[in-house]
């Protein structure tokens, strides 16, 4: 019975926690510019993310090591230094972008400039991390995040052509703006397969004391949670395609993206969009921040844990506090949240091969996963993802320059 509760809670909160600043902005832009045509990118990226999160959980449950810890041990600091530094830099930028997204959500509700909400939001994130355990961080925010299902309801109410959507699961070439199309496809992949999620998921498995006997819960949570989460992302794209594209509204700010809810929700459109954006971004900012503490602590083997008294893991607390302060400093210097999001997403793609490659080795090393090694199909898909990731890493910067 306990395992079923874990499963349901895990799946529901994965759905609620799936959509954040990156997925909303990339899916909204894709829908407004190319209709349903980029649904395939969300589908592929979601499937990849589900596979990687399942592996992260399996690695943690069997080896009692998170991804960051296992990579340090298996590959050494020389290998880890580049992706680790890049990941922490991207995480800092993403925290800034997520705080910005949440601040814009409050601006939509209050009409007070988003800059005024940056400091209170950062303080709220820190206080939440200071006062709560892992369950509140993961499940509490995930449950609140179910408000993002408004995107699915909106898409459903707009009665899209199901055949057209079905056809969009296969990649097709666009009629216009090839570079922009390619850039958005790559960005969707970068926004979906966010490296922090993998370490956060494996850290969660350790925090929640996931054991080998409950690996099926991990598998079901990863695949069901992520796939339903992907449906929410598709909801953003479909709503944007049906509402914004016919009116030639391009999403170059979150305020414009909010208009996508007007036909279905009428006068509740702005509060609902603000709620979905705000909670999605706030939840992601909290997870990103605590994950930086996890990463530092696991790489150096300091005492860590969101369920531990804070004075017993002072370096863990200090690490995430400093990263949050850096993110706040970037935010206060002045930035465009949407542009920063797209930059962070592009940088994520650059380091993707270095994030994916270790899984190919770790998930076949019996020292870490015992008899739970990956099968031929999973290895094949991972190898393909590493190669494709390598190609994307090379093309993403030119694409950002010419199509971003």
Partner 1 sequence: MDLVRDLLDKRVVDRHGREMGRVDRLVLECGEHSAPRVVAFQIGPDALAGRVAPWFGRLVSGVERVFKVDEGRPVRIALADVLSIEDDVKVDVAFGETAAATIERALRRWVGSLPFSS
Residue of the chain from 72, 107, 180, 214 that contacts partner 1 (CB under 8 A): 72
Select the span of 75-83, 115-123, 186-194, 221-229 touching partner 1 (CB under 8 A): 75-83
DSSP string, 360-403: HHHTT-HHHHTT----HHHHHHHHHHHHHHHHHHHHHHHHHHHH
Minimal distance, residue 58 CB to partner 1, in Å:
17
For 12, 31, 261, 348, the CA distances from 37, given in Å and listed in that order, are: 28, 8, 20, 23
Cα 125 from chain centroid?
17
Distance of closest approach, residue 45 Cβ to partner 1, in angstroms: 32
Site map 282..321 versus partner 1, x via CB under 8 A: ------------------xxxx-----xxxx-xx-xx---
**Nearer CB in complex with partner 1: 265/302:** 302
Smallest separation (angstroms) from partner 1 to the CB of 128? 12
Positions 81 through 100 that interact with partner 1 (CB under 8 A): 81
SS3 track for 318-351: HHHHHHHHHHHHHHHHCCCHHHHHHHHHHHHHHH
Smallest gap from Cβ 367 to partner 1, in A, equals: 9
Question: Which is closer to partner 1, CB of 300 or CB of 402?
Answer: 300
Structure tokens at 273: 């969009």
| Residue 178 in contact with partner 1, rule: CB under 8 A | no
CA dist., res. 342 & res. 26, Å (int): 8
Minimum gap (Å) between residue 54 Cβ and partner 1: 23
Contacts of partner 1 in 126-165 (CB under 8 A) = 130-131
What span, in angstroms and rounded, lies between the C-alpha atoms of 260 and 27?
12
| Binding status of residue 64 toward partner 1 by CB under 8 A | yes
Taking alpha carbons only, the member of 295, 158, 142, 282 closest to residue 226 is 142
- Residue 251 per-residue DSSP state: -
60 binds partner 1 (CB under 8 A): no
Cα-Cα-Cα-Cα dihedral sign, residues 320, 326, 329, 330 = negative
Residues that bind partner 1 (CB under 8 A): 64, 69, 72-73, 76-78, 81, 130-131, 300-303, 309-312, 314-315, 317-318
């Amino acid at each position: 019975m306990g395992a079923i509760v874990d499963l349901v809670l895990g799946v529901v909160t994965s759905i609620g926690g799936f959509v954040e600043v990156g997925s909303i902005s990339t899916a909204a832009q894709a829908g407004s510019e190319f209709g349903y045509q980029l649904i395939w990118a969300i589908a592929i990226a979601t499937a990849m993310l589900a596979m990687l999160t399942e592996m992260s959980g399996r690695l943690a449950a069997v080896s009692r090591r998170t991804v960051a810890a296992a990579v340090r041990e298996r590959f050494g600091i020389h290998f880890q230094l580049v992706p680790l530094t890049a990941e922490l830099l991207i995480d800092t930028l993403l925290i800034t972008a997520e705080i910005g997204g949440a601040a814009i959500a409050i601006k939509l509700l209050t009409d007070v400039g988003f800059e005024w909400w940056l400091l209170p939001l950062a303080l709220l994130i820190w206080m939440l991390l200071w006062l709560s355990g892992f369950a509140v961080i993961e499940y509490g925010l995930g449950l609140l995040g179910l408000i993002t299902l408004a995107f699915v309801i909106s898409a459903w109410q707009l009665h899209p052509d199901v055949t057209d959507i079905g056809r969009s699961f296969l990649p097709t070439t666009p009629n216009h703006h090839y570079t922009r199309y390619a850039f958005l496809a790559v960005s969707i992949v970068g926004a979906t397969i966010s490296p922090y999620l993998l370490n956060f998921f494996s850290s969660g498995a350790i925090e929640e004391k996931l054991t080998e006997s409950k690996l099926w819960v991990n598998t079901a949570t990863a695949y069901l949670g992520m796939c339903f989460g992907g449906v929410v992302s598709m909801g953003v794209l479909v709503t944007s395609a049906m509402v914004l594209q016919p009116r030639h509204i391009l999403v170059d700010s979150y305020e414009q993206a909010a208009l996508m809810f007007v036909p279905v929700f009428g006068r509740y459109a702005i509060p609902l969009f603000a709620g979905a954006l705000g909670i999605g971004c706030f939840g992601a900012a909290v997870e990103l921040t605590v994950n930086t503490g996890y990463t530092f602590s696991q790489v150096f083997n300091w005492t860590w844990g969101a369920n531990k008294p804070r004075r017993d893991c002072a370096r863990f607390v200090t690490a995430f506090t400093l990263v949050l302060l850096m993110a706040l400093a970037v935010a206060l210097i002045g930035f465009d949240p949407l542009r920063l999001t797209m930059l962070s997403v592009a940088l994520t793609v650059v380091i993707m091969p270095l994030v994916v490659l270790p899984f190919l080795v770790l998930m076949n090393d019996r020292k870490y996963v015992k008899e739970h090694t990956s099968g031929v199909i999973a290895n094949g898909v991972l190898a393909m993802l590493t190669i494709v990731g390598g190609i994307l890493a090379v093309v993403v910067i030119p694409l950002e320059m010419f199509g971003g």
